[in-house]
Amino acid sequence: MRKSISFLAAAGTVAAVGFMTPASAAEGDAQLSVLHGVPDTVVDVYVNGALTLDDFAPGTLAGPLPLPAGTYELAITAPDAADASAPIIGPVSVDLAAGMNYTATANLDASGQPTANVFTNDTSMIDAGKSRLTVRHVAAAPAVDVLANGSPVISGLENPKEEVLTVDPGTISASVAAAGTTEPVIGPADLNLPEGTNTIVYAWGSLEDGNLALATQSVTGMHSSPSAVPGALEAGDTGAGGAVAATAAASLLAVGGALALFRRSRAAETAGR
């Protein structure tokens, strides 16, 4: 097992995917983001049989896509596959409820096998003067502890579980250690936690292969301001690093044009019946 793991704090470069035109969200739509967390594997992503993300690169966090409530089938295929009939992950059935916010991940399980997970992002209101931190373990690695300013705040987090904390806003020195230890294997690095925001941090990649990496997502608008819009995706970033490390400088990614593709596909299916 390789012990050396390099680290990059997120600087804000996000790989573009095959569509960049934001889709307008209808009232009651669900929001779905997709994280590619399988190292060294470019893939295509199909939703309900329609090619949605073409040549999707590892570490890319795309979305949110506004989608009508319902059941969707996600399939991850090799790049340039003719269709979704021979997926390398899935198909996975995802039930999206109206007004909810989700992230689907293609990732490795604890033993290193490709798999998929669907998480519901907590968009409930946060008490005034507070922030929310969500840490998700989707890496081929054993259980970890998450440390803030050198003290454990999350213990024994296993793949594919998550831990959600309500914390004071501000910048903390965050690091990740093997469960039961305090010697960082990743970090420390500054993590900015804005008020009224759910900062979601994903550990992905493989400890054994030495390519643990980081992705972060920010779901905003959960303070009491009436002008806030819940569910905005602020950052998706990559790097050779680990579970908790990011900076507030991560760039805005708004990707939603695939909705038009879904709706055209549905219309075509309906017309053909």
* Whether residue 50 has pLDDT greater than 80: yes
Residue 75 lies in a domain: yes
179-193, 230-244, 256-270: range with lowest mean pLDDT: 230-244
Which residues fall within 8 angstroms of residue 14, CB to CB, at 6 or more apart? 60, 61, 235, 236, 237, 238, 251, 253
Q: What is the average pLDDT across 54-64?
A: 94
How many whole angstroms separate alpha carbon 179 and alpha carbon 177?
6
Among residues 200, 186, 237, which one has the least CA distance to residue 11?
237
Cβ-contact 35, 103 below 8 angstroms: yes
Chain centre to alpha carbon of residue 186 = 19
How many whole angstroms separate alpha carbon 217 and alpha carbon 148?
19
Residue 266 lies in a domain: yes
The dihedral of CA 119, 123, 127, 128: what is its sign?
positive
Q: 231: domain range?
A: 30-272
Length of the chain: 273
User: Given this model, what pLDDT does residue 24 score?
Assistant: 54
Residue 117 lies in a domain: yes
* Whether residue 30 has pLDDT greater than 60: yes
Number of structural domains found in the chain: 1
Residue 115 lies in a domain: yes
How many whole angstroms separate alpha carbon 231 and alpha carbon 132?
13
149-168, pLDDT tens digit by residue? 888 999 999 999 999 999 99
Residue 5 lies in a domain: no
218-245, pLDDT tens digit by residue? 999 897 554 443 433 333 333 323 222 3
32-46, 65-79, 198-212, 215-229: range with lowest mean pLDDT: 215-229
How many whole angstroms separate alpha carbon 48 and alpha carbon 51?
9
How many whole angstroms separate alpha carbon 143 and alpha carbon 207?
11
Residue 18 lies in a domain: no
Number of helices and strands (H, E) in the chain? 1, 16
Chain centre to alpha carbon of residue 236 = 8
Which residues fall within 8 angstroms of residue 193, CB to CB, at 6 or more apart? 131, 133, 167, 168, 169, 170, 171, 172, 199
156 forms bridges with which residues in the sheet?
Answer: none
Residue 240 lies in a domain: yes
Query: Burial of 203 by CB count in 10 Å (0-12 exposed, 13-18 middle, 19+ buried)?
Result: buried
Residue 51 lies in a domain: yes
What type of residue sits at position 1?
A: M
What type of residue sits at position 188?
A: P
Radius of gyration in angstroms for the set of CA atoms belonging to the chain, rounded to a whole number:
18
